[in-house]
Amino acid sequence: MISIIDQFKYLLLNTMIIIMKKTIILVSLLLMVLLSQVTFAQSGKPVYTNPIGLQAYTFRGSWPKGIEATLDTIKSLGVTEMEGGPIKGMSTEELRKQLDKRGIKMVSIGADYKALSESTEETIKNAKILGAKYVMVAWIPHKNPFDLETAKKAVEDFNKAGKSLKENGITLTYHNHGYEFVPYEDGTLFDYIVKNTNPEYVSFEMDVLWAAFPGQDPAALLTKYGSRWKLMHLKDLKKGVEGNLSGGTPTTNDVALGTGSINIPAVLKAAKKAGVKHYFIEDESPSYLKQIPQTIAYIKSVKE
C-alpha cells in the first residue's frame, strides 16, 4: 500500500511537471511574439519612397570638365530628379534635351535673390524651358548678424516675386541657410519669415544640415510648419561639430547620411508627414562620389 507521504510526493511531482510544461509553452509563445515584432520592425515599409533627387551644386567641380559626361555619372547613380538650373557652357534648351535623353527631370531651379527681387522674367523663362515647377532662393544678402530689417525686406521681396511666379504656375521656395535662426520674440527670425510670407506665394525648402548646424531640430521644424515645406536638401553633419549662426562650415563636415549627428530617420518621417514633394541629395564634401551611394543606400534602408 502506498503511504500518504508517497501519494503526496507523486501528486507534487505531477503538479510540478504540469506547471513546467505550461511555463515552457507560455515562454515559447512570448518568444514567438517578440520575434514576430522584431521581424516586422526589420521588414517594415520603407519611409523613403520618392524618386532619388540630386542638387546640381554637388557636382560643381565636374560641370566645367564636361556637362554630358557629368549627366551620365548622375544617371548612373540612379538619380531621376534634379535641382539646379542653366549650366555655363550649354544652352538651356540643349540642357533640357540632354536631361530628357537620360530620363532626368529638373523639377526645381535656383535663383539669385537680388536678380529675382528686381525681375522674375528670366527665372520664369528658364524654369519653363527646363520644366521646373519650383524656384528656390538659398541666400538672403545680409550683414552678420542677420537682423529684423533684413528679414522684413526679404518678406516683402518674397511675397512680390512669389506672386509673379505663381501666376506662371511656379512655386517660390526659400531655402534655410542657418543664419536666420537669430532669436526674435518667442522664436527666431526664421519664424518671422515663415509667419509673414503669404502661404499662397511662398513655400520653403528644408536644408537638413543648415537647420541642425545652428542648433535647431529639423524634424521639429518640419512638424511645426507642415505643408509650408515643399522641398528638401538631404545632408548630414559630421559628429562633434559645434554649430553657430554663420551659415558656413567646412565642406568636410558634410558626411554621408546616417554617419553624422542628425537623426535622419526622424527627419524623413517628419518630412513624409509634412508632405514634402521632392528631395535632393546635396553633398558638398570632396568625397561626394563615394558618399552619394552610401546616402542612397541609407535612405532606402530606413523603415517605418
Q: How far apart are CA 109 and CA 208, in angstroms?
A: 18
Average pLDDT, the chain: 90
* H helical segments located in the chain: 4-42, 67-76, 92-101, 113-118, 121-130, 148-166, 189-196, 209-212, 218-225, 264-274, 288-301
User: Mean of the pLDDT values across residues 153-162?
Assistant: 98
Looking at residue 24, what is its pLDDT? 45
114 pLDDT more than 70: yes
Q: In terms of domains, do 185 and 93 share one?
A: yes
Banded pLDDT at 3 (limits 50, 70, 90): low
Looking at residue 36, what is its pLDDT? 38
Looking at residue 122, what is its pLDDT? 98
Q: How far apart are CA 84 and CA 106, in angstroms?
A: 7
Domain that holds residue 262: 53-301
Looking at residue 187, what is its pLDDT? 98
Q: In terms of domains, do 27 and 75 share one?
A: no
User: Mean of the pLDDT values across residues 101-106?
Assistant: 98
What letter represents residue 139's amino acid?
W
Query: Is the model more confident about 25 or about 297?
Result: 297
- What is the count of structural domains for the chain? 2
Q: In terms of domains, do 119 and 22 share one?
A: no
In the 8-state DSSP scheme, what is residue 46? B
Looking at residue 4, what is its pLDDT? 53
Banded pLDDT at 43 (limits 50, 70, 90): low
Q: How far apart are CA 48 and CA 269, in angstroms?
A: 8
Q: In terms of domains, do 14 and 107 share one?
A: no
242 pLDDT more than 70: yes
227 pLDDT more than 50: yes
Q: In terms of domains, do 5 and 70 share one?
A: no
Looking at residue 41, what is its pLDDT? 44
Q: In terms of domains, do 220 and 295 share one?
A: yes
CATH of the domain at 145: 3.20.20.150
Banded pLDDT at 197 (limits 50, 70, 90): very high
Cα separation values, 40 from 29, 33, 35, 303, 304, Å: 16, 10, 8, 10, 10
Give percent of the chain above pLDDT 70: 86
Helix, strand, or coil (residue 53): strand
Banded pLDDT at 155 (limits 50, 70, 90): very high
Half-sphere exposure of 301 (CA within 13 A, CB side): 9
27 pLDDT more than 70: no
pTM: 0.86
User: What are the cell numbers at 252?
Assistant: 568636410
Q: In terms of domains, do 153 and 124 share one?
A: yes
10 pLDDT more than 70: no
> Is 48 a member of any domain?
no
User: Mean of the pLDDT values across residues 224-243?
Assistant: 98
Q: In terms of domains, do 34 and 154 share one?
A: no
9 pLDDT more than 70: no
Banded pLDDT at 21 (limits 50, 70, 90): low
> Is 140 a member of any domain?
yes
> Is 1 a member of any domain?
yes
Q: In terms of domains, do 62 and 15 share one?
A: no
User: Mean of the pLDDT values across residues 52-58?
Assistant: 98
Looking at residue 14, what is its pLDDT? 52
Query: Is the model more confident about 278 or about 42?
Result: 278
Which of 119, 107, 114 lies closest to 171 in space, CA to CA? Answer: 107
Residues 71-87: tens digit of each pLDDT: 999 999 999 999 999 99
